[in-house]
Amino acid sequence: MTRHDDTLYVALMRDEVRGVLEAVEGRSREEFITDELRIGSAAFHFMRLAERPLKASAAFRAAHPEIPWGDLAGIRDRVEPELFHEDAAVMWEIATGELPALVDALEALLPPDELWRYRKDDDSDEELAWPASEPDVSPRVPLPMAALDEICRRYDVRRIRFCGSVLRDDFGPDSDIDMMVELGPNAPRGWDVLRLDEELSELFGREADVMHGRPIRYIREQMLADAKTVYVAEGAPMADNGGAATRGD
């Protein structure tokens, strides 16, 4: 993200765990494993959970062995033994048997102030005014604009903003690319949007850490202040700066 922050990754893991718990909440095992919408929701949160543990620093992970960092990083293999084919029974077992204690352990590592409190449906409980921005780019990776435009047209991506280390001097060969992706009304939702993340990772030759719709509230203001726009779809609103923006291939 914008700065390496172990607390942030703990909060993101906590949010994904709670998302899984909400997917099974109020349902029996039989009701859950036959409910495709809840299975899809749980699978999405499990996948996102698997992305976070090893981004916490090695020192932080060593200091908190009560969190099964390695097991969590491999949890996608447990719930999705085949690509896009989830094992709902395994999800239920993990959600009801392992995650209640895990969410308590993660909560214990977070500051007690209001910012870090979990909010259900956080994306809908406050409006975020996205600035209409023209391309303003100084990233440290090549931008294959023709290929990027083709991907964005297929997924109805309206705007992509880079943030984090890709805009800083500490960006290295092993760094991922943090980006905020603003989706249009015809974009895929839920699990299907993860294919966009995979295509962006393949295009740039390194992992794309994608936030869809809005930046994470814990670091929202800093991210919006520092981000640079690298892609604007044709017809998307542009900033009025007295001149037209151009996009080169």
| Predicted confidence (pLDDT) per residue in 118-177, tens digit | 877 655 445 555 667 677 766 788 889 999 999 999 999 999 999 888 888 888 888 888
Residue 77: is its pLDDT beyond 80?
yes
Share of the chain above pLDDT 90, in %: 44
Q: What b-and-e string marks burial along 152-189, b requiring 16 or more CB atoms within 10 Å of the CB?
A: beebebbbbbbbbbbbeeebeeebbbbbbbbbeeebee
Q: What is the Cα–Cα distance from 69 to 54, expressed in whole angstroms? A: 7
Q: What is the pLDDT of residue 105?
A: 97
Cα atoms found within 13 Å of the Cα of residue 101, Cβ hemisphere only? 6
Contact 44, 52 (CB under 8 A): no
Residue 27 exposed, middle or buried by CB count within 10 Å (0-12, 13-18, 19+): middle
Q: What is the pLDDT of residue 3?
A: 46
| Predicted confidence (pLDDT) per residue in 87-99, tens digit | 999 999 999 999 9
What's the whole-number mean pLDDT along residues 208-236? Answer: 80
**CATH classification for the domain delimited by 145-232, as one of 3.40.50.300, 3.30.460.10, 3.40.50.720, 3.40.50.9100:** 3.30.460.10
Most confident of 88-92, 123-127, 229-233, 243-247: 88-92
Q: What is the pLDDT of residue 224?
A: 75
Residue 2: is its pLDDT beyond 50?
no
Nearest CA among 205, 154, 229 for reference residue 184: 154
pLDDT tier at 234, thresholds 50, 70, 90: confident
- pLDDT, averaged across the chain: 84
| Predicted confidence (pLDDT) per residue in 23-51, tens digit | 999 999 999 999 999 998 999 899 889 98
Number of H helices, E strands in the chain: 11, 4
Residue 247: is its pLDDT beyond 70?
no
Nearest CA among 77, 83, 104, 91 for reference residue 38: 91
Q: What is the pLDDT of residue 117?
A: 84
Of 249 and 20, the one with more pLDDT? 20
Could you say which DSSP state residue 114 is in? G
Residue 243: is its pLDDT beyond 90?
no
